A and B are shown apart, each in its own frame.
Chain A
Amino acid sequence: MDTLKTQLHYDKTFDCVQCGYCLPACPTYETMGKETHSPRGRINLVKMVAEGKSGVETLREPIEKCLGCRACQTVCPTNVKYGEILEGAKSVLEDQEKKTKKQQVTEEFIFNGLFTSRKWMNAIGNATWFYQKTGLQAIARKTGMTAMAPLHLDKFEAVLPEVGSPIERRNSPRHVKAKGKTKMRVGFVSGCVMDSMFHQTNKNTIELLSRAGAEVVIPKAQTCCGALHAHTGKLDAARRLAKQNIEVFENENVDYIVNNAGGCGAMLFEYGHLLKDEPDWYMRAERFSKKSRDVTVVLTELDGLEFRHSMNERVTYQSSCHMTNVQKVTSEPLLLLEGIPGITYKEMAGYDRCCGSAGVYNIVNYEDSMEILDVKMEKTRGTKADTIVTTNPGCLLQMKLGIKREGLENEMRALHLVDLLMEADPQPK
């Protein structure tokens, strides 16, 4: 019982005074309309389960349907550590799970069904990556065979970008000098989704950093940041990955550790928290987290680019939740956007609310995610923008999907901010 209380962070649930200020900020409360799917409701359920007033399974649906966007944490007047409570609940659910025969069959089916898609395979690079890192295990576990129906992978496949060949990716440079004067040395976290599906965006990121005056190293031995593991309750795996990354980047003697994916960045930002109970690692992890920066923050600090090409475009911005609510990076992407000549920036109502992508949420909870996306697209339409800019691969895919769902392919496109910056022909100042 006491272990359950500890694992569920029972003591932290008392920080919630149930004032309800999180309700208007929560995208799932908005679309699902039930307190069960609100932050306050979930915290209460965790408390009830920790007190033995209800069984662990009561938590499953409400916790699995949480986007983990952490918008509630930003508005909370009593600083409840919702992220930690959510993570605890996920790890309890993960432990509780015992794979049944039926579920094993499902997993096999996912491999045979899903991974026979050539485009997915090409895009993803290898099957293990997708299985381990996206939490497809979680889907497999969910409800047996019926879980297959709502996967809708064809929908995502249709919006996947064209990717570079595996050879091209393998031959990517590991060290890029600064163009002009070297102002700093940074390490680049290439990420797994970014590096496979959005390889061009990674190339652009490195190029931008170098043109702005940074020497960039891209250590080969780095690995996945562990965010998707942590978010699906696989904390041990997340810690293992974190340690590998910490070690790799320690050897590089860099000023900053730069990433271009809001979700990964949030995980890197929280390595200290992730390894807080391991005395040998805690300080090293904290040092890593303190050096970790989103590319927009570093580009803003470098202030080393001037743009040669005027864009003449109406642009709106969909922020990454983990960048906003965890890393607390909010102004830099807008500063960079507004620095592009010819851009008309049009703010989207609720641009800081989750788009429903949320890691693998849009795959695992497709219908719920699409309801959130529909709300988002209505707001997007309102901006009459030509381009939606994001700063995270998950959000980018989701916005591309939203554009397709609404039949707006001829009027609107979705881009990572660094790709838009590259289009404006940035040159060293």
Chain B
Amino acid sequence: MKVMTSAHEQELQAIFGENRVLLEESDRLSYSFDASFGTYMPDAVVQPRSTEEVAKVMKLANREGIPVYPRGQSTSLSGGPLPVNGGIVLDCSQWNDKLEIRPDDMIAVVSPGILTARIDEEAEKWGLMYPPDPSSSHVSTIGGNLAENSGGPRGLKYGVTKDYCIGLEIVTPEGHVMRTGGRTIKNVTGYDLTKLIIGSEGTLCVITEATLKLVPRPQATRTAMIIFDDLVTSGQAITKVLTSGILPSKLELMDQACIMAVEDYKPLGLPVTAEAIVLIELDGHPKAIEEEIEKVASICKEAGAHSVNVAGSGEEAAKLWQARKLVSPAIVRKKPTKVSEDATVPRSKIPAMFQRLKEIRDRFCVDLVVFGHAGDGNLHPNIICDKRDMEEMERVEQAVEEIFKAAIEMGGTLSGEHGIGTMKAPFMEMEVGSIGLDMMKRMKDAWDPNQIMNPGKIFPEPGKKLVLRDE
């Protein structure tokens, strides 16, 4: 059922011109999905290129009560941009005209549609770095990353998107343009609205420009691959490395199921009897990390590693990382659907979490593999299934719920970096409590009195459960 009339459509065309208002069925269907689950038909898709256009469309939507869904390139794994109640999709992916590096202030000023990886590429020309590196950064937009507060492997050492955004230009649901924060690292004037908006998943406002902090680019990197016969030992070794005075830039883990899948897909000579492979990358001054990588190797050996392989060259390092890169294509070979979770636990609970995941796998008979950013407790339990198999998907839903419960019981969180969206909304109260949820809701109501900004996300709807099956 459409929530828009032809008069609304004409008003949109007056704002954007005809080419940037998409009304055809083929176009609307093409903006009905993201990388998570479900398809929802919007009434219109608009492609803004300026703050003024966004302000105008928000005024129209607010006046008429039409839902608006900001969207980047829709790589979301949590349902963040899905137009669940119809209305207008605000496709910001084509708004990519501004990418300014100000080397003296060590900042970047960007339009929302700039691809995340491009910011770092541009920063590199000035010897600087934009650290957040979600694995989709060559596809995802900075607008989407800000809305979801995305992280990546470098999160261990450098933190996530919110740690690098110091100022925003936004349009409120009522169509007002405002700025938060500024261009300085230090800024304690009033509430920190910048941090509130980052990770609010498009439920409070539309981000139209961002000011990002850059850091000096490390001169060199070194990589080591460490193989463990036993998963618990790997957890202990990781703890020892991280408490040794060395902070790796990346620390990734693959479990036995991943190793077997990769070997089966493309034999690299990985030991299929090993329970875990840990990849560690250090960055910094070449001489410093030369020493540190040796120290990492000896710590792991002492902790009981089966073997340690330190890459001698950049080429060798790339070869070692290939194993990790092949996990995604390798694990979907058996079945097509991948339910990718990002429940995160305190670092010390990683071995216990692995144990719980094994139990969940066996209890619900699901094909569960684990890989991820073990250094910061952000594991990616992935369940490989077939979404056409209703009975299997029901078991998957139950397993996912158990994964969430386990993470929260261990003092962790539902989502380390993918966001809540539609998929994890039913579990919000479990983590933040009823009062916590109520306070969040009150903020939402204050910002968006007519409930037009990205409805159906973050906040659970009464009686709504996780559903991974298409009806």
Which A residues have a C-beta under 8 Å from some C-beta of B?
14-15, 17-21, 23-24, 33-36, 38, 41, 44-45, 48, 53-54, 58-59, 61-62, 77-79
Contact = CB atoms under 8 A, between A and B. Distances in A.
A14 B29 CA distance: 17
B57 to A, nearest CB: 18
Given A20-B74, A20-B75, A77-B328, A44 B30 contact: yes
B329 to A, nearest CB: 5
A62 B31 CA distance: 14
Contacts of A54: 25-26, 29
19 contacts: A14-B386, A15-B336, A17-B336, A17-B338, A18-B33, A19-B35, A19-B139, A20-B139, A21-B136, A23-B139, A24-B138, A34-B27, A35-B30, A35-B74, A44-B30, A44-B32, A45-B29, A45-B30, A77-B328
B136 A14 contact: no
Nearest to B89: A35
B33 A44 contact: yes
Contacts of B428: none
B387 interface: yes
A19 B136 contact: yes
A17 B35 contact: yes
Contacts of B138: 21, 24
Nearest to B32: A44
Contacts of A48: 29, 39
Q: Is the interface of B mostly helix, strand, loop or mixed?
A: loop
A225 B136 CA distance: 39
A59 B24 CA distance: 12
B88 interface: no
A14 B387 contact: yes
A21 B139 contact: yes
Contact of A24 (B30, B47, B115, B337): B115
B383 to A, nearest CB: 13
A35 B92 CA distance: 12
A18 B35 contact: yes
Interface in B256-311: none
B332 interface: yes
Interface residues of B, number: 35
B369 interface: no
Contacts of A62: 26, 30
A77 B262 CA distance: 13
Contacts of A44: 29-30, 32-33, 39
Contact of B337 (A14, A19, A36, A58): A14
Contacts of B75: 19-20
B73 A34 contact: no
Contacts of B74: 18, 20, 35
B34 interface: yes
A23 B328 contact: no
Given A20-B74, A20-B136, A34 B328 contact: no
B441 interface: no
A41 B34 CA distance: 10
Contacts of B336: 14-15, 17, 78
A36 B328 contact: no
Interface in B310-359: 328-329, 332-333, 336-338
B30 A41 contact: yes
Q: Is the interface of A mostly helix, strand, loop or mixed?
A: loop
Contacts of A14: 336-337, 386-388
Contacts of B136: 19-21
Given A18-B34, A44-B32, 14 more contacts: A14-B386, A20-B73, A21-B136, A21-B138, A34-B30, A35-B74, A36-B22, A36-B26, A36-B27, A36-B30, A45-B30, A48-B39, A62-B30, A79-B329
Contacts of A58: 25-26, 29
B94 interface: yes
Interface string B114-138: 0100000000000000000000101
Contacts of B329: 77-79
A15 B335 CA distance: 8
Contact of B139 (A24, A36, A41, A45): A24
Contacts of A34: 22, 27, 30
A10 to B, nearest CB: 10
Given A20-B73, A77-B329, A33 B26 contact: no
Nearest to A35: B30
Given A36-B30, A41-B30, A78-B329, A17 B94 contact: no
A219 B47 CA distance: 55
Interface in B52-82: 73-75
Contacts of A45: 26, 29-30
Contacts of A59: 26
Contacts of A24: 115, 138-139
A18 B332 CA distance: 13
Contacts of A77: 328-329
A77 B388 CA distance: 21
Interface string B6-30: 0000000000000000101111011
A85 to B, nearest CB: 13
Interface string B402-440: 000000000000000000000000000000000000000
Contacts of B338: 17, 78
A38 B27 CA distance: 11
A78 B337 CA distance: 10
Nearest to A58: B26
Which 3 A-B residue pairings sit nearest by Cβ, starting from the closest? A41-B30, A35-B30, A36-B30
A9 B236 CA distance: 48
B146 to A, nearest CB: 17
A15 B32 CA distance: 18
- Of the candidates A14, A18, A45, A79, the one having the most CB atoms from chain B within 10 angstroms of its own CB is A18
A33 B94 contact: yes
A33 to B, nearest CB: 5
A35 to B, nearest CB: 4
Interface string B41-55: 000000100000000
B29 A17 contact: no
A36 to B, nearest CB: 4
A77 B326 CA distance: 8
Contacts of A19: 35, 75, 136, 139
B90 to A, nearest CB: 13
Nearest to A37: B30
A77 B329 CA distance: 5
Contacts of B93: 33
